[in-house]
Amino acid sequence: MRIAMAQINAIVGDLEGNTRKICEAIEAAAEKGADLIAFPELALTGYPPEDLLLKPDFVAANREALLEVARHTPAVSVVVGFVDADDHLYNAAALLYDGRVAGIYHKHRLPNYGVFDEKRYFQPGAECPLFALDNAPIAVTVCEDVWAPGGPPQAAARAGALLLININASPYHAGKWRQREEMLRTRARDYAATIAYVNLVGGQDELVFDGMSLVVDHLGTVVARGPQFQEGLVYCDVDLEAVQQARRANGVPAAGAPLEEEIATPTIPVAARRRRRRDAITPTLVPPLEPLEEIYQALVLGTRDYVRKNRFRDVVVGLSGGIDSALVSAIAVDALGPEHVHVAFMPSEFTSAQSRRIADTVRRSLGLVPLEISIDPPFRAFKGVLRPTFTGRPEDVTEENIQARIRGTLLMALSNKFGWLVLTTGNKSEMSVGYATLYGDMAGGFAVIKDVPKTLVYQLARWRNRRGEVFPEELLTRAPTAELRTGQTDQDTLPPYEILDPILELYVEQDLPPARIVERGFDPAVVSKVVAMVDRSEYKRRQAPPGVKITPKAFGKDRRLPITNWYRGTAAASVVHPVEGTPVKNP
């Protein structure tokens, strides 16, 4: 059986556009002689549709779109994700053939962790029908159904299914493909079935979907693999007779653990495939990207799709001479092209000649037009207006934040006047501990590296230099600084990033309490300070723009803590409890 997996970039809510894209892919796959083509989870609506699902007209329109797709299936079987409805809503997959809906499967396992909220909207399914294509039994499941052992895929295999189609909208994080591939190899061996796993591609708000669709045979061998972060049709000829023979040789329909529940598996006859001569096809087998390129391409795709899907053409970045703004500028250029990226250099009396030189080098390397606006005049004006009120008080972090807020105001003015989307430049380390100015450097529409720790920022910059130098060595080796006062460096306020980032990973991503972090060998006082800064900065993160998720736990949908929150965890005796007045650079 020749199968094609269409890893498409669907747009949430664009029912007409998604339908058109699906129909075009069906036509292309049919020309290649495909017997069956599978599309991702909720391909018609885009994923995740969230509270669009509460609009009855949206659900009804998605059903009409399904019928339109069915009318384009005279010669090929099609599996497509959509929202089904009776008295409840279901995350569903339909098998279409010969202009009609031949059968429907409702997703059983509804994820409700991390970025997922499916139990808010959907009811779980109860059956796992088998579809007979030319007497070859196949089954269809949706995403989470295959991630845990047992359940519908195993029930279908034991009922005789030789091919398991699993349609997905599986969000990306760095290295997740390894976990996904190993899981599918295990399931295919355990169930003695070929698994075809098709995944969504594209950016949707904070989420990125990486594609990388897979076909794994009954021996656990990857026989087809799609590219990462690219749309495309992934082809493979699967030998279902070999699966059947292997089962007969083993004397059992499928191996694996005993079923935890009885799942009905009715058989739905579809039709005999139309026999035709066709040339052999080389299966799609694209190797995975190396780790840093994978992350960089996720950031590029997430940025491009957020900008384009929200109907912007151009973006603007405050290019300061620091590593963060330089990396964001490079990602923006790679995502949109230099003609759509504008950079504003906004110097002050504290801006060094080195920062100016670096910013100019980065700008020229990326082919960008210079735009310079000094913040000195408005800064003097602000200080003059506030002088009577601030009489007798020394300058402190207040004046530092005024500078950052002037820059934010100028960038937003450029956005309003020219229609450019402001890309903010804060990294995950800064967002974690609140080392950022609310309504200042946090002001903007999209936070490109919001989920990228500072140490990873440097690694990505060095990787990008391998494609052509953008970041001069003096930028990669200078001490990080906000340049909001004379001689300032980040380490005046924060631990070195080589220490800070591992603590943040343990506390933010792994949810370890302070005492457990101290047991890993970190200084108790440093851990106490970092934890206090993270906890106290939730109100800032709640007001930050969305940004690309590239770690297992990002701020936003992944991590939702109350702003008003007195819990500070149980610390070891050696850990000093956070003091309310611990200074923070940018409150």
Token digits for 69? 């797709």
128 is catalytic: no
List phi, psi (to 5°) of 441.
-70, -10
Please pick, among 21, 118, 128, 143, the residue that the annotation labels catalytic. 143
Token digits for 240? 């279902």
| DSSP at 537 | T
Interatomic CA distance for residues 269 and 262, integer angstroms: 22
Dihedral through CA 307, CA 310, CA 316, CA 321, nearest 10? -50
List phi, psi (to 5°) of 159.
-85, -5
Token digits for 38? 């599978």
Interatomic CA distance for residues 101 and 106, integer angstroms: 14
Up-side HSE of residue 208: CA atoms within 13 Å toward CB? 32
Please pick, among 21, 107, 454, 540, the residue that the annotation labels catalytic. 107
Q: Say if residue 48 is preceded by a cis peptide, omega within 30 of 0.
A: yes
Up-side HSE of residue 548: CA atoms within 13 Å toward CB? 33
Amino acid at 29: A
Name the CA radius of gyration of the chain, rounded: 27
473 is catalytic: no
Taking alpha carbons only, the member of 206, 132, 146 closest to residue 182 is 146
21 is catalytic: no
Interatomic CA distance for residues 107 and 123, integer angstroms: 8
Q: Positive or negative CA dihedral for 166, 170, 172, 178?
A: negative
Please pick, among 21, 41, 294, 450, the residue that the annotation labels catalytic. 41
Active site residues: 41, 107, 143
